[in-house]
Amino acid sequence: MKAKIVIPIGGVLLLAGLAIFYFLFLNHPSRQVLAHINEEKLTVEEFNRELDKIESPLKEMLKEEPQPFLETLILKKLLLQEAKKEGLSSPVTTYKDTAKDSKPPEEKLIEELIKKKFPHPPAVTKEEVKSFYHQFKSQLEGKSYEEVSGEIEEILREGKRQSEMRQFIAELRGKAKVEVDQILLKKISSKPPESNSEDDFKRALTGGKPFVTDFGANNCLPCRQMRPILKEIGKEVAGKAEVLVIDVYKYPHLAREYKIQLIPTLVFFDAKGKEAFRQVGMMEKEKILSKLKEIGMGT
């Protein structure tokens, strides 16, 4: 006769509780580890918290391509780790630190590290200043060497300082042990907004209504700032005109055909599909509506 295994009801409840705790808390997506930086963890929760500090539409752009932002957070972790190795600690917070323009303790700690690593400004020779002056003399509005030598020296000094800091950070990154969960990174990234197709554009050319096309790209900040405006206009002019968004990287031949050199470029077409006007750079909503009316949009 086989012995029966009896598990007390209390044990069952304990196991159930542990399982719920694991799946709802420890295994929650926000607590998953996105990267290990010298054994220090960077979770999805921390990544999202830092991302929430950024204003739209840049925030949405970073969600779509999170790798560069993740690298920024990794470098921040490395700098903070280095600060601790150097025996530095976060400054004591006072009532003044509650002001809106006060810097977070971590940022102050990184500044202390930079001061310690680079206590003296880089040296700049007179020969370097003179060489810079002669190289850019035509752009200095006829100012003499004596008038601008001080400013040039500061420019060169800051350039050298930035170069030294980049080298320091690159060396820090090169020595670090960094492991990124690329599968998880892909899971938390969002899809970029849809743009119009080449077929949509061709139909608009023969559609018998005036339309405006925004030649831009998803990774262009001014282009993304225009999107909500164009969406509003599209709803308001539905049936009378059209509003299109063409990604110049997806359809480079269209960008070449219409001689797009800078993005965003708004190109207005009349009801016959002929270009009537173009605006390089952002354009206000009322001006877009006014231009559409000017080229034949009915009321």
Mean pLDDT of 108-117: 94
- Indicate whether 47 and 25 sit together in one domain: yes
267 three-state secondary structure: strand
Q: Assess if residue 20 is contained within a domain.
A: yes
- Indicate whether 84 and 220 sit together in one domain: no
Count the domains in the chain: 2
Per-residue pLDDT of 15-37, as tens digits, reads: 555 545 444 444 555 579 999 99
Of residues 131 and 96, which shows the higher confidence score?
Answer: 131
Residues 6+ apart with CB under 8 A from 254: 198, 201, 215, 246, 248
Specify the pairing of strand 211-216 against strand 178-180.
unpaired
Per-residue pLDDT of 276-292, as tens digits, reads: 999 999 999 999 999 99
CATH number assigned to the domain comprising residue 69:
1.10.4030
- Indicate whether 182 and 202 sit together in one domain: no
Mean pLDDT of 154-165: 96
CA distance 219 to 232: 21
Is the distance from CB of 224 to CB of 254 less than 8 angstroms? no
Mean pLDDT of 51-67: 96
- Indicate whether 231 and 287 sit together in one domain: yes
pLDDT bucket at 103, cuts 50 / 70 / 90: confident
pLDDT value of position 102: 75
pLDDT value of position 89: 85
Residues 227, 230, 232, 238: is their CA dihedral positive or negative? negative
- Helices 44-51 and 67-85: crossing angle in degrees, nearest 10, is 100
- Indicate whether 179 and 220 sit together in one domain: no
Residue with tokens 């077409």: 269
- Indicate whether 162 and 241 sit together in one domain: no
Percent helix, strand, coil in the chain, to 5, is 55, 10, 35
Structural domain containing residue 286: 198-294
Share of the chain above pLDDT 90, in %: 83
- Indicate whether 21 and 78 sit together in one domain: yes
Of residues 114 and 24, which shows the higher confidence score?
Answer: 114
Q: Assess if residue 207 is contained within a domain.
A: yes
